[in-house]
Amino acid sequence: MSSLFSLRPSTAAQHHRLSLSPPPPPSRLPLRPHKPVLRSRHRVKILALDAAQPFDYEARISDRLHKSTKLKIAVIGFGNFGQFLAKTLIRQGHTVLAHSRSDYSDAAANLGAAFFSDADDLCEEHPEVILLCTSIISTEKVLRSLPLQRLKRSTLFVDVLSVKEFPKSLFMQILPMDFDILCTHPMFGPESGKNGWSGLTFVYDKVRIGDEESRVLRCQRFLDIFAKEGCRMVEMSCAEHDRYAAGSQFITHTMGRVLEKLRLESTPVNTKGYETLLNLVENTASDSFDLYYGLFMYNKNAMEQLERLDLAFESLKKELFGHLHDVLRKQLFGKAEGLEVLEERPVLSKLPPNGAPLLPPPDSVGVQNS
């Protein structure tokens, strides 16, 4: 009832501050002039704490604004990367529900997300977006285990897998036609994105988004989460992503893991280049082996990159040993004339460009004269 006496319908906080005693009765009512008007401070008192009323204009507007910009997102796979993303989703005001093979109730509560150990319970909450953050190699199993019939018919499915053709084809095979599909790859992780996402690349492919305005907007609102953080938004097909990523991301992870095996240590005389290598190890070593294995197994371009790496290393070693051989021969035989050429060593001067056959054509093989 206090709103009858408040100065204007507003939020509960304002009612609290502004509610006064009832205003004086209208002048046509008989007043009792003999009684002095009390001006004591006691007349200002709180009558009640009221909830927002249905006519509370500001509350309704803000509620409508919230609903039009915020999403209810179910994160499936609440491990390293799932939690990393959830932090930002929650900070931006989205509602996050989480589900995972392991029990992450405490971690979810700390972040402000609701954890559901049962996928049926989660789906009955009717999230607008299902965000798949499972390991690449477990994705098919997890997707097939979801009770899709409990979701709303037009749910948006998004994945963040580091390979893209594989989840796209899984989604197309498994999800009913009513569901929308957005394949994405935030090309950063808990380590590289720990100080914010500004300038970091976010790749996406709108694989299947219905024409209805609400569906188009929902997809846009999801993408806006990353755009708002300052990500460099790159729209490209899943196939294109996998081609580029094999030559960049897979090579990066492979080199990081090779260097990790060398157990590099910081020294008192680190160069900038060496510091870069140490950072590379730090960036890649914190990712799970499942992730790296997924990059290899589920990107058809990865095997070619591994072979190129092998070939490049071999060719470099041959180049080095070739020079060493020259020096040794000169020392052994001096400048003696008429020496027979002992052997001709083929050296691959340059690898063929990405995508070209790896066997060197005859004219790309240089002959190192001894």
Q: Where along the sequence are the contacts to ligand NAP (CB under 6 A)?
A: 77-82, 100-102, 133-136, 138, 141-142, 160-162, 186, 189, 287-288, 290-291, 294
CB of 137 to ligand NAP, least distance (A): 7
CB of 108 to ligand NAP, least distance (A): 11
The residue nearest ligand NAP at its CB is 189
**Nearest residue (CB) to ligand NAP, 86 versus 142:** 142
CB of 351 to ligand NAP, least distance (A): 27
**Nearest residue (CB) to ligand NAP, 127 versus 186:** 186
CB of 163 to ligand NAP, least distance (A): 7
Contact 279, 188 (CB under 8 A): no
What is the CB neighbour count within 10 angstroms for residue 66? Answer: 10
CB of 159 to ligand NAP, least distance (A): 7
**Nearest residue (CB) to ligand NAP, 133 versus 156:** 133
**Nearest residue (CB) to ligand NAP, 80 versus 237:** 80
**Nearest residue (CB) to ligand NAP, 81 versus 204:** 81
**Nearest residue (CB) to ligand NAP, 56 versus 159:** 159
CB of 218 to ligand NAP, least distance (A): 22
CB of 105 to ligand NAP, least distance (A): 12
Three-class DSSP labels, the chain = CHHHCCCCCCCHHHHHHHCCCCCCCCCCCCCCCCCCCCCCHHHCCCCCCCCCCCCCHHHHHHHHHHHHHCCEEEEECCCHHHHHHHHHHHHCCCEEEEECCCCCHHHHHHHCCEECCCHHHHHCCCCCEEEECCCHHHHHHHHHHCCHHHCCCCCEEEECCCCCHHHHHHHHHHCCCCCEEEEEEECCCCCCCCCCCCCCEEEEEEEECCCCHHHHHHHHHHHHHHHHCCCEEEECCHHHHHHHHHHHHHHHHHHHHHHHHCCCCCCCCCCHHHHHHHHHHHHHHCCCHHHHHHHHHCCCCHHHHHHHHHHHHHHHHHHHHHHHHHHHHHHHHCCCCCCCCCCCEEEECCCCCCCCCCCCCHHHEEEECC
**Nearest residue (CB) to ligand NAP, 138 versus 154:** 138
Distance CA 137, CA 143 (A): 11
**Nearest residue (CB) to ligand NAP, 291 versus 348:** 291
CB of 102 to ligand NAP, least distance (A): 3
